[in-house]
Structure 1
Amino acid sequence: MNDTENRLREYLQTKATTSVPADSHGPGPELTVSTRRRTWLPVTAVAAALAVTLLAGIPYLTSLAKQSGTAPAGSPTAKALTSAMPSVPYMVQTNDRLSTLEDGDHRIKLPAGTFAVSAARVAGGWVASIGSGTKGYRPAIIGTDGTIRPIGPETEKHPLASPDGKQIAVVPSNINDPSRITIFDVRSGREVDSLPMPKDDLRLHAWTKDGIWASGFKNWNVLTVWQPGKGKRTINLPEGSQLVRASQTGTVLAGEWPDRHNCAKAGTVEGDKFVLTREYCGKTGLMSVDLAPDGRTMVDGGSKASINLTTGAVTKLQLPDKVQPADGVVYEDSRFALVITQKGEDHGSNNTWITAPRQMFRCDVTTGRCKVVVPARSATMYIFGQL
């Protein structure tokens, strides 16, 4: 997520709390914690579009790294496309200032006026950014019984869950605070490690088997990958670009070329360099992009298409409406992606925010077929968490 989008996120969260309160059932948080982190799509063009539509949907995600074996990239398997409930935690946010966290059989109603974004499974529940809009957002643990327990300093942001769900990483929300990545133990809340960083507005992108991926706004093409207890390394993306996604298999997706906001480049990392394997350019600015856990395909919500990163083949997703511009796509596994669509635009009227009808689909990225998973509800927004 770039600085523009970060400021937009904070603006939208405030709007959400003043005008718009915010392959099967996924396992409960005590049973399985996953290993992929969803991050904000860093595309300036999208931020401009979002400023018009004033979307409150925010996600980023830590998800199960499910592999597709030795089958060709994007090839169909025997797994069927169903309308089963999402295996990714998500928030249901309504205009009456009520917010509910839904994850498999769990439905956690938050106190009125309290909202959560980027919910990820951790030991004993979920970690999320919790806030009311007027007081800002801070990391907290949501228990399976609905209790909310702040974790880390109030000035920290962007909680990122470790692959085993036992720890979280955060960075300062105030650029004047010491720049560092700090790790906290989920159960005890104690700080267990930290890494000093050059003074900058820091971003956390992913926590994979390779470590924590982070960058700063001043040099967003320079990535720090820190493996707590083992050290760090620096990776240089092409000038002017920044990380969009990182898979568990080593594929990374970079975007934000200054003059090509509709393009993304997939590749691998060799030493400290990014090695290009596939470039994709959509018809519009990249919106709601996600990378499959196995790194073989990506979905571009703006073009409503999945792209095979091995062959370059493009499969159109059979969706009736536009994809929510802000983080409307998240992979459940390497075969299926969840997609939030909206019919029309959000708009304000007489000091009231009108939310365009939204519904959630599950799409087979190999065939383009999609099925409704969560139907549209009146004045309701769906916000993906982290699998």
Structure 2
Amino acid sequence: MKRALKFLLCIALYGVCAVAYSAETRVIAEKLNFPWSVAELPEGGYLVTERGGKLVHVAENGTKQAVTLSIPDLYAEAQAGLFEVLLSPDFSRSRALVISYSCGTKHANNTCVIRGKLSLQQPYSVIETQNIFTALPKKDGAAHYGARMTWLGDGTLLVALGDGFVYREQAQLLDSHLGKIVRITRSGATPEDNPYTHTKAPQIFSYGHRNVQGLIYDKDRDAIWQHEHGPRGGDELNRIEKGANYGWPIATYGIDYTGAKVSPFVDLPGVKAPLYQWTPSLAPAGLALYEGDLLVAHLAGKRLQRFQMTAGKWELEGDYLQGLNQRLRAVYVGPSGRILVLTDSKEGQLLEVIFE
């Protein structure tokens, strides 16, 4: 609203003109060990995952306390570890949440999701945990897990899955979860209206993804927005549609890390083209909706970007937080409407962002 008023005042006084915007940050908590995701609790404070395997409760005054969480099959190394914590839509009543993480061993691992409940009283613990999804096949190595999640309006859950890096061709195979976005119920069952229930991987909702690091449902537009990493260039912003193919690795704007072409095609018939692509790569990580705009945090790009929809297309409105010179792992807008950002380091920070 404040931004809109500034723009209207500018028009009234000077005619058509541009308005520059800025953002301030406030440190809520520090010394978080490679924080990966954050969720705002209705009773106050935040849950923050640390990639190494800890779930932390952060009070508004910055005090941190470990949350008891038992994940015996957690595999944490390199990009592998504890990923997203996502509260259920009815959390205030049920205390239910879901957590994504890498499960297995160095030579046989993939992305898993558990559901559980957060205790009512502090010190918090996650209780009644059970696995609701395990991505298959198990793979070697510790790269490209995806692991971002979002609830759809019908109460089903989308889980993004990476291509496993060296297994990229499987992103086009419908008998593998690698390089897919899957849709499951709260209990982990496969919805009957999924598009590929006739395959060996019936949970698949869309395919042809590389490493999804942003995923959110926009209930006002009834749309699913997503972004994913390309290799050298070709990071993508997409609108996800049921059953659609997003091209990796048969169509991409990126090239391999060696400089070789991944594919001669940037687009192909039957492949959904990105709504926006970043070349050179900024490594988007985290996606949030704020006042109808999209907020995108970036790792390599060390910035927060804001996109506005104009004439049905997402257009970059501006770059923010570059003065921090910090890799940004996640951006989150909770029920309070506050913008939260996590910095990516062994002494990471939880920041509140205020647009001016």
Structure showing greater radius of gyration is: 2
